[in-house]
Amino acid sequence: MTAAERASAHDHQHCIDDALVRASTICAQSGGRLTPLRRRVLELVWHSHAPVGAYDILDALRRDGRPAAPPTAYRALEFLLGHGLIHRIESLNAFVGCAQPERPHLGQFLICSKCSDVTELDDRRVFDVVEASARAAGFSVDRVTIELRGTCPVCKAA
């Protein structure tokens, strides 16, 4: 089954709608403004479970008829990152929606090399082991991004 076939079998609009409702709630609680542009950028990030780059977002905004320059997209992405609504996939310089934005967490990301889908894990034990090893080496951890590349179950079965 291709990524396109999986997408057609999956009610992804539910994912998008759920992300937007949760984002509205989180922004209202924190005093952040989920402006129409920020909301649209969040929709574009959630458009699929594959990471999306800032320039892809810019192209989509332009197709919407919005005047968009790189700073416009990056400011919206920074707001969404700052409110825990999206994650940055460092190795791809791209973004995915956060499945659990209501609480701070350190995710680990499984990236399928074949279909580009990203699955977020949230296993505190992984971070604890990495942090303990760093501390034993005399290193102070400021930020952690754990990305694993491989093949997702759907692509493996195909």
Q: How many domains does the chain have?
A: 1
Average predicted confidence (pLDDT) for the chain? 89
Q: What is the pTM of this model?
A: 0.84
Cα separation, 108 vs 61, in Å, equals 29
Look at residue 67 and tell me whether its pLDDT is greater than 90.
no
Cα separation, 94 vs 5, in Å, equals 23
3-class DSSP string for the chain: CCHHHHHHHCCHHHHHHHHHHHHHHHHHHHCCCCCHHHHHHHHHHCCCCCCECHHHHHHHHHHCCCCCCHHHHHHHHHHHHHCCCEEEEHHHCEEEECCCCCCCCCCEEEEECCCCCEEEECCHHHHHHHHHHHHHCCCCCCCCCEEEEECCHHHHHC
Interval 33-56 mean pLDDT: 93
CATH number of residue 16's parent domain: 1.10.10.10
Residue 151 burial (CB count, 10 A): 14
Structural domain span for residue 84 = 3-157
Tokens 């409702």 belong to 21
**Structure confidence at residue 136 as a pLDDT band (50, 70, 90):** very high
**Structure confidence at residue 152 as a pLDDT band (50, 70, 90):** very high
Tokens encoding 83:
């409110």
